[in-house]
Structure 1
Amino acid sequence: MAKPSLVLLLLVISILYISSTAKSTATTTNFIKNSCSATTYPDVCVKYLSSYASAIQQSPKQLALTALSVSVDKARATKTFVVKFGKMKGLKSREYKAIRDCVDEMGDSVDRLSQSVQELKKLGSKSKRGDFLWHMSNVQTWVSAALTDENTCLDGFAGKVLDGKVKASIRQLVVNVAQVTSNALALCNKLAAK
C-alpha cells in the first residue's frame, strides 16, 4: 500500500495540474471572446471557435486560420446541401435556376476560402512586413470575394415568387455561412492591422 505522504503528493500534483489547465482554458476562451467582440456576429464567432481553444491558444494568426477553416467547412457543407436541393422533384423552373446558380456561387466561395487558408499558412513568424502585408491582402481579397459569392447566392432567391421551404432552408444555411465568413474576414483584418 502506498504511503500516505506519497498519495498526498500525487493528489496535490493532480490538483495543481487541473487548476493550471482550467486557467489556461479560461485564458484562451477569454482571448477568443475578446477577439470575437470585434466581429459583426460575436455570438456566432464564439460559438464556432470556442471548441478550438486548445489549438488557438492566444495566437491571432491561429484564430484567423481557424475561423477561415470553419468558414470553408461551412461553405462546403452548404454547397453539398444545396446540390441535394437541386435534385428534388417538383421544383419550379426559377427555383432550379436559382439553386444551380447558388451551387456555382458556393463552389466559388469554397475555392476562395480554401485559397485564403493556404495563403495564411504561408505566413511564418519571421515573415518580412512587406511579405506579410502582401499575403494578408490576398487573404482579405479572397475572403471578401467569398462573402460576395455567398450574398450573390441569396440574390438569386429574391422576390416573392420563390418564397417557400426551398428558399427558407437555403437562405438559413447561406446566411450562417455568410456570418461565419464575415467574422473570419474581421479576424483577418485585425491580424493584418498588427
Structure 2
Amino acid sequence: MDKLGVYLQILLVALHYTTSNASTAGMHYVIASCNTTRYPSLCVRCLSSYADSIQGNDLKLAKAAISVSLNNAKSTTAYISKLAASSGLKPNIYQAVKDCVNNMNNCVSSLNQSVQELERMGQFRGQSFEWHMSNIKTWVSSALTNQNTCSRGFSDGSVDGPVKVAVVRRMSYVTQLTSNALALVNRFALRHKAGTHMP
C-alpha cells in the first residue's frame, strides 16, 4: 500500500474513534441526566437520538426534552380531536373527550411557549435569566396540569369503554414525557445557578 493509502486509512480510523468517543460521551450524559427524572428509561429512549447534538449541553437537553413532549402532545391532541368528531359517542364520553381537547390545546400552547423561550435562554444572565426560566417552568407545569385534568375527566366510573382506554393510554405516555421534561428544565436551572452547566 502506498503512503497516501496508509495516511487515509489512519485518518479514517482516527475519525471513527473520535466520532465513537463523542457518541459515547453524549450517551453517558443523556443517561446520567435521565437518572434524575421520574421515568429514566423512557427519558433515555426518547432522547438517545439527540445525544450527538446535545453533547453535554444542559440547555440543548432541556430543549430536546420539551420538543419531544410538544410533538407527542400535538399528535395526541390530533388523535383526541378525531375522536371528538366521530359519531356515536355517549354524551358523557363526548363531553370528556371535548374537555380533553380543550385541555390539550392549552397544553400545546404552553409547551410551544416553553420551546420558544428556551431558544433565547443563551442570551440571558442573572435576574433576567431567572425570570425567563421561571416562565418556562410555569408553562411546562401548566402543560402537565392540563394533561392531568384531561386524564381525570375519564376517571369517572360512568365513562368507560375503548375510547377511555385509548385516551388514558396516550395521556399517560405524554404526561410521563412532560414530567421528564420538567425535571430536566429544573436540572438545567439548578446547574446554571450553581455554575456547573454547559452553555
Task: Please say if 1:155 is aligned against 2:138.
Answer: no
| TM-score, normalised via structure 2 length | 0.93
Equivalent position amino acid for 1:183 in 2: N
| TM-score, normalised via structure 1 length | 0.95
How many Å separate the matches in 1 of 2:120 and 2:15?
35
1:12: Cα distance to partner? 1.2
Task: Please say if 1:166 is aligned against 2:163.
Answer: yes
- Per mean C-alpha deviation after superposition, the further-off stretch among 51-60 and 34-43 is 51-60
In structure 2, the residue corresponding to 1:161 is in which secondary structure? coil
Task: Please say if 1:123 is aligned against 2:134.
Answer: no
Equivalent residue runs for 1:84-163 within 5 Å = 84-124=82-122, 127-163=124-160
Equivalent residue runs for 1:44-63 within 5 Å = 44-63=42-61
Moved over 6 A (4+): none
- Per-residue deviation, residues 54-90 of structure 1 (Å, max 9, x unmatched): 2211100000011111111110110000011112222
- Per-residue deviation, residues 72-131 of structure 1 (Å, max 9, x unmatched): 11101100000111122221111100000000000000000111111111212x522111
- List runs of 5+ in structure 2 lacking aligned partners: 192-199
In structure 2, the residue corresponding to 1:89 is in which secondary structure? coil
- List runs of 5+ in structure 1 lacking aligned partners: none
In structure 2, the residue corresponding to 1:160 is in which secondary structure? coil
Aligned residues: 191
Correspondence for 1:20: 18
**Percent identical:** 40
For residue 178 of structure 2, the aligned residue among 149, 162, 181 is 181
1:162: Cα distance to partner? 1.6
